[in-house]
Amino acid sequence: MKTIYTAEALATGEGRNGHARSSDGLLDLDLAIPEAMGGNGQGTNPEQLFAAGYAACFHSALQMIARQEKADITDSSVGARVGIGANDAGGFQLSVTLEVTLPSLGHDEAQAIADKAHQVCPYSNATRGNIDVTVTVTDD
């Protein structure tokens, strides 16, 4: 692979109760364990950051496929839900649900474009075979 961009970030403090900052300073935020996991929830968390990144990346892939297929995806959106839970090996595991909204298209055409986007999205390619990822198309 020929790398065209590298993102850099540094986490400090107490991990999930710490701080994260990108090398360019554009991302600079406190981290906190969510209340649902016993924390105070007074900061963002890695799962929120992963959800935002995956949603944005998948939306870009969706737009690329739509351009190739000359499909109208006006007012499209992608929502991502990232779950975390215990696995059978004593550690933790993630799961992802991507909710795709393509209001200008019928359900079958929207699902076909979402399925193709899932094949080209870098996040989808990175997670494939590692965590459960479900792509659903809403009819909103």
User: Do 15 and 52 reside in the same domain of the chain?
Assistant: no
Strands 28-30 and 132-138: unpaired
d(CA 78, CA 138): 10
Number of domains composing the chain:
2
pLDDT at residue 22, as a whole number: 97
pLDDT at residue 38, as a whole number: 93
Q: Is the pTM of this model over 0.85?
A: yes
d(CA 57, CA 78): 9
User: Do 65 and 121 reside in the same domain of the chain?
Assistant: yes
User: Do 50 and 39 reside in the same domain of the chain?
Assistant: no
Q: What is the CATH number of the domain that holds 28?
A: 2.20.25.10
User: Do 83 and 20 reside in the same domain of the chain?
Assistant: no
Overall average pLDDT of the 47-57 stretch = 98
Q: Which domain holds residue 89?
A: 46-138
User: Do 9 and 35 reside in the same domain of the chain?
Assistant: yes
- With bands split at pLDDT 50, 70 and 90, how would you rate the model's confidence at 135? very high
pLDDT at residue 140, as a whole number: 66
Q: What is the pLDDT of residues 58-112, one digit of tens each?
A: 999 999 999 999 999 999 999 999 999 999 999 999 999 999 999 999 999 999 9
pLDDT at residue 6, as a whole number: 96
Overall average pLDDT of the 113-118 stretch = 98
- With bands split at pLDDT 50, 70 and 90, how would you rate the model's confidence at 125? very high
User: Do 81 and 13 reside in the same domain of the chain?
Assistant: no
User: Do 71 and 29 reside in the same domain of the chain?
Assistant: no
User: Do 36 and 65 reside in the same domain of the chain?
Assistant: no
User: Do 72 and 118 reside in the same domain of the chain?
Assistant: yes
User: Do 55 and 29 reside in the same domain of the chain?
Assistant: no
Identify the CA nearest to 95 among candidates 64, 54, 65, 62: 54
For residue 111, CA distances in Å to 7, 8, 30, 52, 96 come to 31, 34, 37, 21, 17
With b meaning 16 or more CB within 10 Å and e meaning fewer, what string describes 46-65? ebebbbeebbebbbebbbeb
- With bands split at pLDDT 50, 70 and 90, how would you rate the model's confidence at 1? confident
User: Do 38 and 25 reside in the same domain of the chain?
Assistant: yes
Return the number of other C-beta atoms located less than 10 Å from residue 84's C-beta: 16
Q: What is the CATH number of the domain that holds 60?
A: 3.30.300.20
User: Do 78 and 116 reside in the same domain of the chain?
Assistant: yes
